[in-house]
């Protein structure tokens, strides 16, 4: 079978070279700067929707006061898209429904996202942005990613950073509003930013610090400004971080040592019958067996009673008395002579203060008498 071209040769396009084909394909993939998708109007769907659609979501008790305040603003924002909103405080739920005037089929989906964000503690001023065409939202559940509560709180705090600095840096790099509340992280912004936010949040809960992802985002932001690098791979510019486990692995208390391999199987354990045959119990009659069992039980009971009695008698055993050490009588040699001390005290009292001792006084008197005798000799 011969394949024939449907068009005549005059109407056929000339075959392009492969290089020109590649250029055309790359041009098709790129979106012109400043291009926006045209808004969906009533002219696109003049007949409206066939059926009524509705979505409901529950909200926590602590959000009741805030929702009651801002609910008129929510109704006003949704009425522009012809969507009804009801707040049930008894049940604790919010419901959005389409009306006969609703022409945009996606308006109810945006309204559903709006009430979800309000339930997750996102303020109304930020949540109302979801009604715009170029804004989307993502609610990331992080509660079940970590088992231990302490590690979960630590990693969630790591996502926030000191005084919310890490979260602020993420918001600036991704052009998204991020709200960390309880077991969820709510993000609101463009689709490309939401993708990056989800990656950073999940990596943080997997014990990868957000600073590494922030560094890569900063580099990507600078590379995107260069038009020459748009069609090239950025892997050579991006940093590659390796995991470092500084902590040594804890060694188990019980180490299972591998036994040497032997081709022979282990010996078969003895059965109950083998044990009875070895002891001779197998050949005893039933009465004798029962009697032996009773005797064993009685012997055990007697041992238990004996031990119990010993423990009771412990209270009546007197404690060992301490041996009294006899003090040796003081020897007569070491005795103090009280009488001699008394005499010394008396003599001391008789003496005047500054007076010379008795021996010195006697010597002085003798010297004075000698001098007197010498004087008498000279005079005669």
| CATH code where residue 191 lies | 3.30.1370.10
Domain end residue (candidates: 242, 277, 304): 242
Tell me the mean pLDDT in the region 65-91.
94
| 167 and 231 within one domain | yes
Which among 133, 149, 183 is the end of a domain? 133
Q: Look at residue 72 and tell me if it is in a domain.
A: yes
Same domain assignment for residues 50 and 139: no
Residues 145 and 234 in one domain: yes
* Number of domains the chain is built from: 2
- For the chain, report the end-to-end CA distance as a whole number of angstroms: 191
Contacts of 282 (CB under 8 A, 6+ apart): 273, 276
For residues 189 and 235, state if they share a domain.
yes
One domain for residues 201 and 110: no
Question: Is residue 345 assigned to a domain?
Answer: no
Higher local confidence (pLDDT), 54 or 26? 54
What is the span of the domain harbouring residue 138?
134-242
- Per residue in 145-170, pLDDT (tens digit) is 999 999 999 999 999 999 999 999 99
The closest alpha carbon to 165, from 221, 214, 132, 230, belongs to 214
What local confidence, expressed as pLDDT, does residue 3 receive? Answer: 43
120 and 177 part of one domain: no
Q: How confident is the model at residue 357 (pLDDT cuts 50, 70, 90)?
A: low
My answer on whether 144 and 238 are in the same domain is yes
Quote the pLDDT of residue 18.
54
200, 219, 242 - which closes a domain: 242
Q: What percentage of the chain has pLDDT greater than the value 70?
A: 83
| Averaged pLDDT of the chain | 83
pLDDT at 21 over 70: no
Would you say residue 2 has pLDDT above 50? Answer: no
Domain membership of residue 358 (yes or no) is no
What is the pTM for the complete model shown? 0.56
Do residue 118 and residue 178 come from a single domain? no
- Measured between alpha carbons, how far is residue 333 from residues 124, 176, 336, 339, 343 in Å? 107, 104, 8, 15, 20
Q: What is the largest CA-CA distance in the chain?
A: 191
Do residue 142 and residue 236 come from a single domain? yes
Higher pLDDT, 87 or 325: 87
């Amino acid at each position: 079978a011969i394949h024939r071209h449907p068009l005549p040769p005059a109407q056929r396009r000339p075959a392009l070279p492969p290089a020109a084909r590649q250029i055309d394909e790359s041009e098709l993939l790129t979106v012109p700067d400043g291009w926006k998708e045209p808004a969906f109007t009533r002219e696109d769907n003049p007949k409206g929707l066939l059926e009524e659609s509705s979505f409901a979501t529950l909200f926590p008790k602590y959000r009741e006061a805030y929702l009651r305040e801002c609910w008129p603003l929510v109704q006003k924002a949704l009425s522009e898209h012809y969507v009804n909103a009801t707040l049930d405080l008894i049940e604790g739920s919010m419901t959005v429904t389409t009306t006969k005037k609703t022409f945009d089929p996606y308006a109810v989906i945006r309204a559903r996202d709006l009430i979800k964000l309000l339930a997750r503690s996102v303020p109304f001023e930020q949540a109302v942005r979801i009604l715009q065409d170029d804004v989307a939202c993502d609610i990331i559940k992080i509660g079940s990613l970590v088992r231990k509560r302490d590690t979960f709180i630590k990693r969630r705090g790591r996502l926030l950073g000191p005084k919310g600095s890490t979260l602020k840096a993420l918001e600036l790099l991704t052009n998204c509003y991020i709200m960390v509340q309880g077991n969820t992280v709510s993000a609101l912004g463009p689709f490309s930013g939401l993708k990056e936010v989800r990656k950073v949040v999940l990596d943080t809960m997997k014990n990868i610090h957000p600073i590494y992802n922030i560094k890569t985002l900063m580099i990507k932001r600078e590379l995107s400004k260069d038009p020459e690098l748009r069609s090239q791979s950025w892997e050579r510019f991006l940093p590659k971080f390796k995991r470092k486990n500084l902590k040594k692995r804890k060694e188990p208390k019980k180490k299972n040592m591998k036994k040497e391999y032997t081709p022979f199987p282990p010996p078969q354990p003895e059965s109950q019958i083998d044990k009875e045959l070895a002891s001779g119990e197998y050949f005893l009659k039933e009465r004798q067996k029962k009697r032996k069992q009773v005797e064993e039980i009685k012997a055990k009971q007697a041992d238990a009673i004996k031990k119990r009695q010993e423990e009771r008698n412990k209270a009546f055993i007197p404690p060992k008395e301490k041996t009294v050490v006899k003090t040796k009588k003081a020897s007569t040699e070491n005795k103090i002579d009280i009488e001699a001390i008394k005499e010394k005290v008396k003599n001391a009292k008789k003496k005047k203060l500054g007076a010379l001792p008795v021996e010195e006084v006697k010597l002085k008197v003798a010297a004075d008498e000698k001098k007197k005798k010498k004087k008498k000799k000279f005079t005669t």
